[in-house]
Amino acid sequence: MRNRSHKGANALMVTLLTVFVVILASRHVNPGVMNEGNQLSDGELDNSDTVLWTSYIDGPGYDYAKDVAIDDYGNVYVVGYADFDVFGEDDAIVAKYDSQGREVWRRFWGGASYDYGYGVDVDSTGSVVFTGYTRSFGSDYQAFVCKMDPDGTLLWNVTWGGAPPDRAYDVAVGEGDNVYACGQTQTMGAGSDDMLLLKLDPSGNLLLNVTWGTSQHERAEGMCFNSTDSIYIAGVTMLSGTRDVALVKFNSTGGVVWNRTWGGTGTEDGQSVDCSGDKVYVVSTGNWGGSFVLHQYNSTGGLAWSTSKAMGGNADTYKSLACDSHGDIYVLSYNFTQII
């Protein structure tokens, strides 16, 4: 989740899930979804919740949409992975649609093994960056970042990692069209897994890689920028012995400004983060049934409030949130509860 104008603050995206419809609001989302027909699906609503269009990518197997971005012209970009067997097993896929929902192009990326697309963003030139993790290039899973021009031509791709698995789950374009990706790593850091932040220049050259973590398990799920180009990463830490929400603020050079954790004796996972002015919002899930918790922090790390919302269902997972220019907050859920 990022707070930048080219993410389309007035657009609402929808994705159809196995058993219900969720609304992805404004700029950027991380659905992690599959619809009833095992197809990638995306659509657009106007501000009155009227469906303007919907579109599908129908493959021979299971196809997942994981993220959405919108450029200044209303073009929509969807990233995920699909079982089309273009290169091998599951391949990362990115598709571009115009503002009327017509598919402009789709591209696959990967190798002979498994390749998963997870995050997508658009830079000031209209080029598309997407991230995820791959097992096609290396001895285990490695994080990757790819960049394509507005016509879908691959400009560069880079992988990062070592012998242990490393994964990227979100990507953001920052100042000067530098590219940031976050995820988790076992290659470096203090524990078995640590939060990972990568920064690349517009040509794909690695500028920095930093980690945050303890001797326990940490993972980054989502990231956003505020107006001063500070970076907020939300995810999970097991510092207390159980999974807790983690929120870490970095400056643009990768320095940790502060970190905050939130949780109790149960399981709490930070799923997504977005910024609105000097306010930072985090949505978290845990062992509360069909509920989520929404947290508001200020830019200095102070927790202003936390509130929970019960939505029902046996296995609801609230994966993403976004803030629009009016200060409204949208929370995304997917539901794999079987209806009998």
Per-residue pLDDT of the chain (340 residues; tens, 9 = 90+): 343 333 322 222 333 222 222 333 333 333 333 333 345 555 565 666 677 888 877 777 778 888 888 898 989 999 999 887 788 788 999 999 998 889 999 999 999 999 999 999 999 999 999 999 999 987 789 999 999 999 999 999 999 988 788 999 999 999 899 999 999 999 888 778 999 999 999 999 999 999 998 888 999 999 998 878 899 999 999 988 888 999 999 998 899 999 999 987 778 888 889 998 889 999 888 765 567 888 999 999 999 999 887 765 544 466 778 887 777 888 776 654 333 3
Distance CA 204, CA 83 (A): 27
Is residue 155 situated within a structural domain? yes
Residue type, 185: T
Is residue 18 situated within a structural domain? yes
> In which residue are the tokens 């027909």 written?
37
> In which residue are the tokens 């940790």 written?
256
Is residue 172 situated within a structural domain? yes
Query: What is the extent of the structural domain holding 126?
Result: 5-335
Is residue 59 situated within a structural domain? yes
Is residue 120 situated within a structural domain? yes
- Sign of CA pseudo-dihedral 314, 170, 16, 73: positive
> In which residue are the tokens 């919108």 written?
70
Torsion of CA 313, 317, 322, 324, to 10 degrees: -10
Total domain count, the chain: 1
> In which residue are the tokens 């927790």 written?
303
Is residue 261 situated within a structural domain? yes
Distance CA 120, CA 107 (A): 13
Is residue 340 situated within a structural domain? no
Is residue 12 situated within a structural domain? yes
Q: What is the CATH number of the domain that holds 51?
A: 2.130.10.10
Distance CA 236, CA 243 (A): 6
Per-residue pLDDT, 42 = 56
